[in-house]
Chains A and B, each alone.
Chain A
Amino acid sequence: MTDFAVELSGVSKKYRYFTLDDVHLQLPQGQIMGLIGANGAGKSTTIRILMGLVHQDAGEVRVLGHRMPAQQVAAKWDIGFASEDMRLYETMTLSWHMSFIRSIYPKWDATYAQLLLKRFGLHAEQKIKGLSHGQRVKAALLLVLARKPKLLVLDEPTTGLDPVARHEILRELTAAMADEGRSILFSSHNTQDVEQISDQITFIDRGRIIDSMDKETYLDRWRRLRLEVPLGVELRPLPGIVGVQRQGRLAVATSNAFVPDLAHAYESAGVHVQRIENMTLEEIFVANVEHNREEVEA
Chain B
Amino acid sequence: MYFQIMEQIKRRIMVGDWAEGQPIPSIRQLAVDLEVSVITVKRAYYELEREGVIVTQPGKGSAVASSPGLGARLREQELEQHLEQASRIASQLGIPTKQLLGRLREAGDRVAEKDKELI
Contacts and interface: CB of A to CB of B under 8 A. Distances in A.
Please tell me the size bucket of the interface on B.
10 to 19
Contacts of A32: 37-38
Given A174-B32, A177-B32, A178-B28, A31 B38 contact: yes
* Majority secondary structure, B binding face: helix
B32 A195 contact: no
A216 B39 contact: yes
A195 B92 CA distance: 33
B39 A178 contact: no
B43 A174 contact: no
A171 B35 CA distance: 6
A120 B1 CA distance: 28
A214 B32 CA distance: 18
A215 B39 contact: yes
A174 B36 contact: yes
A197 B38 CA distance: 8
B35 A216 contact: no
Contacts of B37: 31-32, 174, 196-199, 215
Contacts of B67: none
A30 B31 CA distance: 13
Given A216-B2, A219-B1, A196 B32 contact: no
Contacts of B32: 174-175, 177-178
A170 B43 CA distance: 21
A239 B88 CA distance: 27
A199 B35 contact: no
A180 interface: yes
A178 B35 contact: no
A177 B1 contact: no
Interface string A194-211: 011111100000000000
Contact of B38 (A171, A175, A199): A199
A177 B43 contact: no
Contacts of A216: 1-2, 39-40, 43
A7 B74 CA distance: 43
Question: B28, B32, B38 — which one has the most chain A CB atoms within 10 A of its CB?
Answer: B38
A178 B29 contact: yes
Interface in A126-164: none
Interface in B1-44: 1-3, 28-29, 31-32, 35-40, 43
A49 to B, nearest CB: 25
Interface string A268-284: 00000010001000000
A31 B42 CA distance: 12
B92 A197 contact: no
A175 to B, nearest CB: 6
A31 B2 CA distance: 16
Given A174-B31, A274-B92, A199 B1 contact: no
A31 B31 CA distance: 12
Nearest to B46: A216
A197 B29 CA distance: 14
Contacts of A196: 1, 35-37
A173 B36 CA distance: 10
Interface string A72-114: 0000000000000000000000000000000000000000000
B38 A215 contact: no
23 contacts: A30-B38, A31-B37, A32-B37, A174-B31, A174-B36, A174-B37, A177-B31, A177-B32, A195-B1, A196-B1, A196-B36, A197-B36, A197-B37, A198-B37, A199-B37, A199-B39, A200-B39, A214-B39, A215-B1, A215-B40, A216-B1, A216-B2, A216-B40
Interface of B: 1-3, 28-29, 31-32, 35-40, 43, 92
